[in-house]
Structure formats: structure tokens, C-alpha cells
Structure 1
Amino acid sequence: MEKLFIIVCICVAVFESIGARAVAFGFSPFIHFLPGASTGALTFSYCVGEYLSNKCKDRDRRGFLMASMIISLIVMITSTSSGANASAVGALGIALLFSGNLFLSFVFIGISLTLYLNPNLVESLMMWLMPGKTMESINTASGRTVLWELIKIKTAERPLIGWGFACIERAIGTEFLGETTSDAHSNFVGMYGSLGIIGLLLFVFHLGVHTLNAFKNRVKLGYLGILCATICAIVNSYSYGFLSGKTCSITIVYFGLVVLSYYYSNIKYYE
């Protein structure tokens, strides 16, 4: 089941990336393609979590995970999404912290303390992870905060149930901008506008239960990868709203992750 999940993720990411270059952008090694980058980041996060886990001792499985990491990393980097890059680094940090390897855990703690004590270093790291950005564009999510404010204004008219799934962007585009807008690029703002406070609370509840379940079972085979991929998805939520707007490849990958978690919870583990 794990191998099937990873193969599907990689096939989707590679096929979509090649298609995007061929149809929309031309064959260029680097393009700005959010779905491909996010799919690559999620796949990389699962694989790196399991590869670093002290439960991963099978040689064939380690080789498969390493090859999958490399492919997904190439897709992610060449798709130039700063949000996907940052979320993958966050997932890597979780993998180091809970790997069961004392040395790797100390490495992660040392890096975290260094960054905490050196704010200028954090800013430099942000610039490295997000090439072509400025701190102003990062703080305003490349100008998307303006879109978010309009969504909040419109949703205030129907705060409990919102304007219908994936409809809020169309509503504010018609009223405020005079044209159709893209999705909110934020799961949380998009979910609030689409399904209101009720939908947003259910969404946060799902994320909480899913993350907590992975965290509680992180010592079992497969679950550290799920935890890393889930953290990656949550961090990336303000870069691409893959559960609150139009369905895309990363939506399918995330649903696959949830199914994988359910499958793992129903199998017997043997030492």
C-alpha cells in the first residue's frame, strides 16, 4: 500500500510537471507551478520521514524511499514554489526531531536554537528558500492578503455557512474586482469564505485529529512519514489552498495520505 501510494504520487507529479511545460509554458527546466511543487513537497516529506525513522531497516525499502525522495525533490525545486520549499524544510525538521536517532535530534535542536538566537540568519534563510522574494512580499503573501481581506468582508454577510464550496472567490471577484479571481491560496481563509465558521471548525478539527493520530503512532512503521507529510500540508496551506478551492493534484495526494493513515490503523504490526 505504501509503495502504491508513493508511485501514484510520483507519477502524478512527474506527468503534471511535464504536461505543464509542454502545454502552458514550453519546455523550460524551471517553471512556477504550484500544484507540481506542492505534490513533490508532500511526497518528499513522507519519504524523508520514513527514511530517517529508526523503523526503516529494510534495504529494498530504503532504496525505494531514497529514489522517491530524489525524484520528488527535483520536481519540487524545478517548480519554484517558495511555500512548497518552506513546508518541505519544516517536514524535514520534524523528521529529524522524531527520527529516533539521538544525533539527528541534537542536530535539529542545535539548528533551532541557532535560528532562534539569530533573527538575521532566519531572514537570510527565508530569502534562500524563497528566491526572487522580498520580506514585504513574504509578509503579504505576494499581495494575497488584499484578497483575504476582501474574502473576510464578503463572508461577514454569511458568517456561519459561507457562500458555498469554492464560491467565495467568484463572489468577491464579481462584487469588488469586476473579474473572476483565482482561489484564495489559503486553506483557512478559503474554507472560512466557502463554508463559514461551521466548515472552518470542522476542517480544523479534521487536521487536529489527523495530526494527533499520526503523532501518537509515530513510533510505528509508516506514521512518521504521515506526520511529516501532514505538517508539510498544514505549513503549505497558506501557499496553496488545496482543500478549500478547486481540486488539483495535491488534493488527490492529500486524500491518498488520509486513506494511507486509515489503512495503517487497521493492520497488525509485528516486531
Structure 2
Amino acid sequence: MPTPKALAREDAVLALVCQTLSHADRDVTIEDRPDRLPPGQRPFEVDALLRVRSNDSDRVWAADVCTVPLPQAMPGAVASFEKRVVPELEKLVEQDGRALTVSCHPRLFSQDVTQNSRKRQMAADTSAVVQAASKALSAGQDHLPAPEDELRLQILVHDFPEHADGSRVAFMPFVGGTDPDLAAQLRRDLAPHVREKLNKQLRTPRQAGHPTLLVLDQAGHGGMPVPTNFLPSQATIRRVVEECLADSPGVLDACVLMTPGNQVIELIGVVGVPCHDPVS
């Protein structure tokens, strides 16, 4: 069941899509919200039915919203790192009298890594961070990430004893994808969700004669357990979505992207111009 914040974000995204795509030659409004109806009363399993009116067309489009996510394991990795490392660093700064800001990319493990191997690696990571912090404090210099450092560890040494919130150690994790290739990140984290939308939510209304729209949300909201991946460009996202469409031809008529700055971009196709109607 979506959280209230998730539902509010979905409402905001759909409202902004309608507002942005409406102009003198095209009017886009919300006709219905099937996902808010009881299961037995839903005409389709989509987030919205949008009425799109233009000079020569008046059609109801089926629309579904999908975030551009990071790996599902990221929140747990962040929490685990903070729980293990921050208390050890607090011991150092308590003795030293200066505050630290620590940034890193919490390590993610593939499913084939054993529990014992994970524990050994996490212990090694903790030791490496504590040693780097100790050296930074001793030298009075910041620790910057080395090119070969998988954690991308950065430690800033401050000349004050605590931060504004009263903490001695501020932990600011990097939560970008784990693969330096942004397209590879999207193929791993976004593509499965897009394929599910195509094969489940959007296929049925398309077969019933309704044009279909996929709305990708790259901004998200602050309460998300897994943040959005705000780094990939429009071109990279388009390429990965088109790869998904090649596996499910004839389902999607258009795709729009809500950018990290809440700008609505028509990424694929044109809303109001169906491209998969049967040839009469």
C-alpha cells in the first residue's frame, strides 16, 4: 500500500503533467483515478485516465507513474554503515575536540556474496574509515577519495567541536548508483519496473483501444525509502526505455519524464498522437 507521501507525490506529478502539456492546441485533464477505486470497480489497473483534447481528437489515455530508482539495498547499506562507523568516529573526535563530516558510498553486495564475506568486508571498511579519520585529525587535513577507493571516502576536518545540530560526526552518504555506467544502472534498477508497467498495467488498456502514457518521475519526494536516481540524462533514460519497448512492441504510445527539477519533458512520442491504433 503506497504511503500518504507517495500518493501525494503521484497527485502532484499527474497534476503537473496535465498543466505542462496543456496549451492552445492541446488540453490534458484527469478523467479518473482507477488506482483510488476499490479493486472490483477499477476499469484498468493504472494510476490515471487522462482526457486529451486537441483540434482533431478527443481520447482517453491510460497513464501510469514510475519513479527512476536507485538499488533497493541502498537504504539498508546506508543505515548499516552509519551504525557501525559513526560511533567509532565519535570516540576519536571526542578526544580530539574537532568535528568531522564523512561522505562515502556505502558498499552494496550482490546476492552471491556469503554472509561471512560480507561481515569481513564491512569490518575492513570500518577499520579503513577509522584509520583515515585518525590520520586526518593528526595531520589537520581533509581526507580526499583515492581513485581506487570503492567507498569514495571523503573526510572533512572542522575547527569547531560540533555541528549546528549538536553532533560531532556528520554522515553524508553518496547514494548514486553503484555502476559508473549510468545506462547500466538504469538497466538494472529502472528497466524491470518499466517492463512490468508495459506488460501489466498498460497492456490491457492499450488492447482495449486506449492510448497509453508512462510517466517517469526522476525527482520523487523526501519520504522515499529508496531515493531516485537523478544523475542519468534524458538521452540515457530514453535509450533504456526504448530497449524495453523493443521487448513489448505496440503497448506504449508516449513517455514523459519529470526531471529532478520537476520539469516535464516529452521523452518518447507525443501525448495526444497515438502511434499504436489499428490501421482502419
**Shorter-normalised TM-score: what interval?**
under 0.3
Q: Report the structure, 1 or 2, having the larger strand content.
A: 2
TM-score (norm 2): 0.24
Which is greater in Rg?
A: 2
TM-score (norm 1): 0.24
Q: Report the structure, 1 or 2, having the larger helix content.
A: 1
